């Protein structure tokens, strides 16, 4: 069980009391994480950037309704997921085209050069596969692995039961596993 980040909660409290400076600081601190989550959900970088901006504007408007429970990033993710849903409704299907090449440095835990290369290739293939998952599966992956949220928090964020979160995650991982085992990067849908 993680504890909410009290620094960020304090900034949110101050922002709620009218401090635009505190809100600006929150933007500086949380935008990198928010972008990572949103980028995993969005169809391209431009849409992700627009979603991040819209999320912050909506968060500012929703500040009076913010209650001190859970991680501020989970609250932002809820707003971002709702905005992304609206975007998906307007424009479907979503094309996940342009995530950058994987960073090979991230795979340094593998012992030998061959394993490292294989690990990096798996990461690259997996990233491609995730981009091609259905939006709800991609969102669950983003919230679980990019935002690091617990199942309960994901359920709250997406407005669905915890069991549905588990189902989405299980199905997403099954599709990803089959794709990795088959060595195919165009499996899911």
Partner 1 sequence: MTDRLDDLLFRLPDEALPEDLIPRVHARLHAQHWREKWQRIGGHLLLALSAGGGAWLLRPQIGILAEWAPNLSMAGLEQWASGLVASPLGTAVAAVSGAVGLGESLSGALSLPVLLALILIGTPATLWMMDLLQQPAGREGAMV
For residue 133, the SS3 value is: coil
Q: Which is nearer to partner 1, 67 or 89 (CB)?
A: 67
DSSP output for 64-111: GG--S-S-HHHHHHHHHHHHHHHHHHHS-S-----PPPP-GGGGTTSS
Judged by CB under 8 A, the residue of 62, 91, 95, 106 near partner 1 is: 106
CB of 135 to partner 1, least distance (A): 17
27 is a site residue for partner 1 (CB under 8 A): yes
Q: Does 68 bind partner 1 (CB under 8 A)?
A: no
Stretch touching partner 1 by CB under 8 A, among 46-54, 71-79, 83-91, 157-165? 46-54
Site size with partner 1, rule: CB under 8 A = 47
- Kindly tell me which residue out of 22, 45, 160, 162 binds partner 1, with binding defined by CB under 8 A: 45
Asked if 98 and 45 count as a contact pair (C-beta separation under 8 A), the reply is yes
- If the CB atoms of residues 89 and 172 are measured against partner 1, the closer one turns out to be 172
Alpha-carbon distances, residue 80 vs 27, 38, 106, 114, 124 (angstroms)? 14, 7, 27, 39, 25
Q: Give the whole-angstrom CA distance, residue 84 versus residue 91.
A: 10
Q: Is-contact 38 48, C-beta < 8 A?
A: yes
Nearer to partner 1, 89 or 102 (CB): 102
- Rounded to whole angstroms, the Cα distance separating 83 from 131 reads 18
Structure tokens at 175: 């599709």
Say whether residue 11 binds partner 1 (CB under 8 A).
Answer: no
Closest CA to 188 of 125, 102, 121, 130: 130
Among the residue ranges 2-10, 30-38, 78-86, 150-158, the one whose residues contact partner 1 (CB under 8 A):
30-38
List the interface residues with partner 1, window 121-160 (CB under 8 A): 122-124, 126-127, 130, 141, 144-146
List residues near partner 1 by CB under 8 A: 16-18, 20, 23-24, 27-28, 31-32, 35-36, 39-40, 45, 48-49, 52-53, 56-57, 60, 63-64, 99-103, 106-107, 119, 122-124, 126-127, 130, 141, 144-146, 173, 176-177, 180-181
């Amino acid at each position: 069980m993680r504890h909410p980040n009290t620094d960020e909660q304090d900034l949110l409290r101050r922002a709620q009391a009218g401090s635009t400076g505190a809100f600006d600081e929150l933007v500086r601190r949380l935008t990198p994480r928010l972008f990572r989550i949103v980028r995993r959900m969005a169809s391209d970088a431009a849409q992700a950037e627009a979603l991040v901006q819209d999320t912050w504007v909506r968060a500012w408007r929703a500040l009076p309704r913010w209650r001190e429970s859970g991680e501020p990033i989970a609250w932002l993710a809820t707003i971002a997921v709702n905005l992304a849903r609206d975007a998906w409704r307007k424009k479907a299907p979503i094309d996940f085209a342009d995530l950058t090449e994987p960073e090979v440095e991230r795979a340094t835990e593998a012992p030998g050069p061959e394993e490292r290369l294989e690990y990096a290739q798996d990461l690259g293939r997996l990233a491609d596969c995730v981009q091609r998952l259905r939006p709800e599966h991609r969102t669950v992956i983003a919230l679980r692995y990019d935002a690091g949220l617990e199942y309960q928090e994901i359920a709250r964020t997406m407005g669905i039961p915890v069991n549905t979160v588990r189902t989405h995650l299980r199905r997403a991982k099954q599709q990803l596993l089959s794709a990795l085992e088959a060595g195919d990067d165009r499996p899911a849908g």
